[in-house]
Amino acid sequence: MQFLRKRWRAVLIFALSTLMLSGCGKIVVLNPQGPVATEELHLITWSFGLMMIVVVAVFALFAFMLIKYRAKKGSKIDYQPEQEGNRLLETVWTVVPILIIIALIIPTIKTTYALVKPPSTGTPVVIKAVSANWKWMFQYPGQGIETVNYVVIPANRPIEFQLDAIGPMNSLWIPALGGQEYSMPGMLMRLWLQADHPGTYVGRSANFSGRGFVHMVFNVIAKSPSDYATWVQKVKTTAPAMTMADYQKLTAQNVVHTMTFSHYIKFFGPRNNSMNALYRAPNS
């Protein structure tokens, strides 16, 4: 008997740990790779913990009521059909949730304000992320280069993504590094992210934007500062400059592979009509 139980425990522990190892490794939001995602995870676990208090309380009460007060034939359970309320109890379940909410809203507000600031003190890298009809263009104003459908960042430095859009709204989401922000035509938005280590992380558009939306996936490649500098240099010297033909292809509605440019053309057309853009002269 004892033996059996022990064995079951071993099986249970084994099952749980494999689940944790295999499953949770893939739960990207629970495995943050940067300070922003880490801070958000703190809030997630904190709110989850607070909610578990409620779950335990309600589930326990629920089970108690169902077991104790189910109608049984001939039983003389305590039956009080006219009981209609209880001040004390009602106060308790009004006040306790309010306390829980206070415990939740304080860190929420703190983090909300914290996330509009750079996540660390390093010099930020500015990358303009433009969602353009089912593709992501990443422009590096400081370096003058552009990547399409992938982005390279230095690890351990704050990245300031400036979000812009040609065409419908999308949302830039790199769950390993932090939460998302919408990219909207004609309204520049800012999203601070940072990677702790070199590595490759998946990003995608989280907001539906039409048929090609699923293909708005990109890799975020975080490199060590020196590797990053080398990469920028290499792009500048070896990648082609963007031509007008490239520009037209990029602003049109289509799905493209990854691309790299040593020089990019700034967007100059009206933002919801990539076709109209073709009829105007570039101003760069």
Partner 1 sequence: MLHSLLQLGDKYFMWNEGPMIWTSDVLIVLTSLGIIGVLTYLKRWNWLWKEWLTTVDHKKIGIMYIIAAFAMFFRGGMDGLIIRAQLAVPNNQFLNAEHYDQVFTTHGTIMILFMAMPFIIGLMNIAVPLQIGARDVAFPYLNALSFWLFFFAALLFNISFVIGGSPDAGWTSYAPLAGPFYDTGVGENYYLISLQITGIGTIATGINFLVTILKMRAPGMTLMKMPMFTWSILVTSIIIIFAFPVLTVTLALLMFDRLFGAQFFSVTHGGLPMMWANLFWIWGHPEVYIVILPAFGVFSEVVSTFSHKRLFGYKAMVVSMVAIAILSFTTWVHHFFTMGAGASVNSFFSFSTMLIAVPTGVKMFNWLFTMYKGRIQFTTSMLWALAFIPNFLIGGLTGVMLAVAPADYQYHNSYFLVAHFHYVLIAGTVFGVFSGLYYWWPKMFGHILNEKIGKWAFWIFMISFNMTFMPMYFLGLMGMTRRMYTYPAGLGWGPLNMIETIGALGMGLGFVVMVYDIVYSIRHPEKDLTGDPWDGRTLEWSIPSPAPEYNFAVIPEVKGIDAYWMMKHPKGQEPEPTKAVDKSKIRPIHMPNNSYRPFIISVAFFVAGFGFIWQWYWLGIPGLIVVVIGLFLRSFEYDDEHFISTEEIVQTETAAGRL
The mark string for 31-50 relative to partner 1 (x by CB under 8 A, - otherwise) is ------x-xx--xx--xx--
Rounded Cα gap, residues 155 and 161, in angstroms? 14
Interaction between residue 55 and partner 1 (CB under 8 A): yes
Interaction between residue 240 and partner 1 (CB under 8 A): no
Rg, C-alpha atoms of the chain: 27
Interaction between residue 105 and partner 1 (CB under 8 A): yes
- Edge-first strand order for the sheet with 136-140 is 189-193, 159-166, 125-132, 136-140, 145-148, 259-261
* 18 contact choice in Cu ion, partner 1, none (CB below 5 to 8 Å, kind-dependent): none
* 29 contact choice in partner 1, Cu ion, none (CB below 5 to 8 Å, kind-dependent): partner 1
Interaction between residue 140 and partner 1 (CB under 8 A): no
Stretch of 73-81, 121-129, 140-148, 151-159 lying at the interface with partner 1 (CB under 8 A):
73-81
Q: Which residues bind Cu ion (CB under 5 A)?
A: 184, 187
Interaction between residue 206 and partner 1 (CB under 8 A): yes
Buried b (16+ CB within 10 A) or exposed e, 203-223: bbbbbebeeebebbebebbbb
Helix (H, G, I), strand (E, B) or coil at 52: helix
Instruction: Describe the crossing of helices 35-68 and 87-114 by its angle, rounded to 10 degrees.
Output: 170
Least distance from partner 1 to the Cβ atom of residue 167, Å: 7
Question: Using CB under 8 A, which of 33, 131, 194, 205 touches partner 1?
Answer: 205
Interaction between residue 199 and partner 1 (CB under 8 A): no
Interaction between residue 122 and partner 1 (CB under 8 A): no
What is the torsional sign of CA 83, 87, 93, 94? positive
Rounded Cα gap, residues 226 and 234, in angstroms? 12
Strands 259-261 vs 217-223: parallel, antiparallel or unpaired: unpaired
* 61 contact choice in partner 1, Cu ion, none (CB below 5 to 8 Å, kind-dependent): partner 1
The site that binds partner 1 (CB under 8 A) totals a number of residues, namely: 84
Least distance from Cu ion to the Cβ atom of residue 181, Å: 10
Interaction between residue 54 and partner 1 (CB under 8 A): yes
Interaction between residue 74 and partner 1 (CB under 8 A): no
User: Residue length, the chain?
Assistant: 284
Interaction between residue 97 and partner 1 (CB under 8 A): yes
Contact between 118 and 158 (Cβ < 8 Å): yes
Least distance from partner 1 to the Cβ atom of residue 281, Å: 18
Buried b (16+ CB within 10 A) or exposed e, 65-104: eeeeeeeeeeeeeeeeeeeeeeeeeeeeeeeeeeeeeeeb
Interaction between residue 278 and partner 1 (CB under 8 A): no
